[in-house]
Amino acid sequence: MPLSEQEQRCVAFACRYLNEHYGGHWSIQKNLDDLKLSEPTPEVIVGNGIMTAAVEVKRVVDFASRDYIAFLRNNERVLTPSCGGSYYLCPALGFSLPMSSSLQRLVKKEIERVAPTLSPGQKGAVRIPRQGHISLISSSVPPFITCLHGGPYSELMSSISERISGQFTLIDDGLEHSFITQECKDDFEEAVVAACNRSLEGDSGDFKWEEEWELVRTDKDDDSSHDGVWVLATTGAQSMQASVEQCVHAALDNAFRKFRKTPPWAEVQVIVLEASSMAPASLAASAVKTFQSQDKELINHFLIVEGEDVKEASAIVASLEREAEAERQRQQKHILESPVSKGRVQRFEDDYLKARREIGATEKVFRYYGAFQHKTMPNHLASFGFNTLFNKGPFVDGSNWLDLRGWEFAVTEERYLLQKLHDCLAESINRTGQILPGTVAAQPEKILDTAKGLADLLGERRKSLIVIAAHLDIDAIVSLEKALTTPRWELADELRTNRILGKYEDCPVLHLNDQDTKNLYIVDIPRFASLIQYDPPVDLQVSALGEVTARRMVKDNPDLKLDVNTLLSMVHLTLYQSYEIQVHDQKAVWAAKFST
């Protein structure tokens, strides 16, 4: 079999490389395919009159692109209706190729139904069956329904909320909702309302409905279009590097079969990989480096052809590594020589304070009860936070570091505050002995019934804070949220944060996910304590380390395990806030123990 145009081109590049590497004029001496040998063979033998080389050519196209094209062509062929025509099929958001065989059969049947009714330029609706489950959250609250896709305030769900009683969640994992006709959308709404009503009556919330995908006929009057159905969808997201590596390794596995002959085909053995836009030379060369084979030493040269260039794979990798190291050193020099950026420090502070507002369950609770105070004076005895060394890069303009985010710092600060609150609660119970005898099962109904009883002991049921200081698994948290009067997602901004599960009647439910304790507390916050914040709202200092400071740190801290150069690429970061929980009445707390 003669060489293809692509193979001839790659062999010519290999000969050019061999000319430069070994000297002489290299050209094809023998096309091994023409010999019709029974064993696997490379493409050709080339030589310069003194030496010979066996050359095998492989084109590299990443598996994701190859599969995508295959999926499109398969659907184009299989889904074409018997009436002919050219079509686009627009699936719902979230759909990705490949299409399962069962779905493909269903879609084909629907296209057979719809396609004959369409003229060029017209649109139709392909019906797709769906199924889901209605979960009843509460029957005694204003009507409300949400689903896993559109959220509680989507247009689709809001129109249904006006026709139901109680609170529900539509559990419908899968694609986004898709309706082309008002008729199909109306049928869906009727099915949801009926399922909600059945759920209120105690029946199963399972139900089925149909949705629609748009089918567009695109034939042209000049008959230039060919029959087929093109599905407007992509494959799932994949790593380009991993996809190229998978393809290169498969190509090399196949190529190596052709070089295991003894004696070898030639004095020099060469594999040529032709890169492409979907599999660039840099990724192909890196994939050659990671290829593991006990026969790898059989090959003298792994060549990569890209455009008009041909290079050794190892040379490409070495060049990339040199470039990466040069960039690393340039960045390191820039970071060492540049001052700390006031703008970046300010952005970090702003991001930290934003995160504290979002995550700050302790402050939200005390503000809710009117038990929060802000004092415009410092109180260093109430300060807590961070005193640490951190990489300087995030605080230098022009560095390749992203800005440092404040979220993890804010979460750590909040954990400290919540632990202080828990310590105050535990200390109060130790002093007063106000704890119920026996234990309570960690089940939603038992927790809430016990909370009611404890609130009655306080005499302030409507002002009580429910604190669950115990580890609850996800299922237990979901069950508890369903039993609450106001679930987390319906809370106003004043209480909405991940530590507050919702409200039971008018009582917020605060969850302290503590593995070591199993306590339920009921607290009359205004009687119990105040939360006082002192100025400044945040005390943040970020300063570069000078050489004198770095040398002194190394000398004074032999266990630091950091050298001077490393310290010079760091900053000294201190971040403090000042909060005090001032307890007024320890008898404003009752507790119960959860059973194990």
User: Hunting for tokens 């404003």 — which residue is that?
Assistant: 588
Among 214, 211, 173, 167, residue whose Cα is nearest residue 191 = 211
Residues 89 and 219 occupy one common structural domain? yes
Give percent of the chain with pLDDT exceeding 70: 96
pLDDT, tens only, 381-405? 999 999 999 999 999 999 989 999 9
pLDDT band at 63 (very low <50, low <70, confident <90, very high): low
- 501 lies in some domain: yes
**Res 461: pLDDT:** 64
| Cα–Cα–Cα angle for 517, 521, 525, rounded to 5 degrees | 130
pLDDT band at 159 (very low <50, low <70, confident <90, very high): confident
Question: How many C-beta atoms lie closer than 10 Å to residue 156's C-beta?
Answer: 18
Beta strands 228-231; 86-90: pairing state: parallel
- 397 lies in some domain: yes
**Res 158: pLDDT:** 76
383 within 8 A of 539, measured Cβ to Cβ: yes
Residues 15 and 109 occupy one common structural domain? no
Euclidean distance between CA atoms 278 and 290, whole angstroms: 19
Residues 150 and 211 occupy one common structural domain? yes
**Res 222: pLDDT:** 56
pLDDT, tens only, 236-268? 666 788 888 888 998 999 999 999 988 999 999
pLDDT, tens only, 540-554? 999 999 999 999 998
Residues 590 and 441 occupy one common structural domain? yes
Residues 23 and 113 occupy one common structural domain? no
For the chain, the distance separating the N- and C-terminal CA atoms, rounded to the nearest angstrom, is: 76
pLDDT, tens only, 334-377? 999 999 999 999 999 999 999 999 999 999 999 999 999 999 99
Helix axis angle for 63-78 and 101-114, nearest 10°, is: 40
- 45 lies in some domain: yes
Last residue of a domain, one of 201, 226, 251: 226
pLDDT band at 9 (very low <50, low <70, confident <90, very high): very high
How much is the average pLDDT of 430-447?
A: 93
pLDDT, tens only, 102-121? 999 999 999 999 999 999 88
Residues 124 and 212 occupy one common structural domain? yes
Residues 288 and 165 occupy one common structural domain? no
Last residue of a domain, one of 192, 226, 260: 226
Rg (CA), the chain: 35
Q: Which domain holds residue 164?
A: 81-226
Euclidean distance between CA atoms 593 and 441, whole angstroms: 9
**Res 154: pLDDT:** 58
Among 113, 122, 121, 107, residue whose Cα is nearest residue 74 = 107
Euclidean distance between CA atoms 277 and 62, whole angstroms: 9
Flag whether the pTM goes above 0.75: no
- 24 lies in some domain: yes
Mean confidence (pLDDT) of the chain = 90
Residues 141 and 282 occupy one common structural domain? no
- 328 lies in some domain: no
Instruction: 286-292: list long-range contacts, CB under 8 Å, 24+ apart.
Output: 286/241, 286/245, 286/317, 286/320, 287/244, 287/245, 287/247, 287/248, 287/249, 288/248, 288/252, 288/313, 288/314, 288/317, 289/313, 289/314, 289/317, 290/245, 290/249, 291/248, 291/249, 291/252
404 within 8 A of 580, measured Cβ to Cβ: no
- 590 lies in some domain: yes
pLDDT band at 62 (very low <50, low <70, confident <90, very high): low
Residues 347 and 359 occupy one common structural domain? yes
| Total domains in the fold of the chain | 4
Q: Which helix (H) or strand (E) holds 324?
A: helix 313-337
- 329 lies in some domain: no
How much is the average pLDDT of 177-204?
A: 91
Residues 86 and 203 occupy one common structural domain? yes
| 88 has pLDDT over 70 | yes
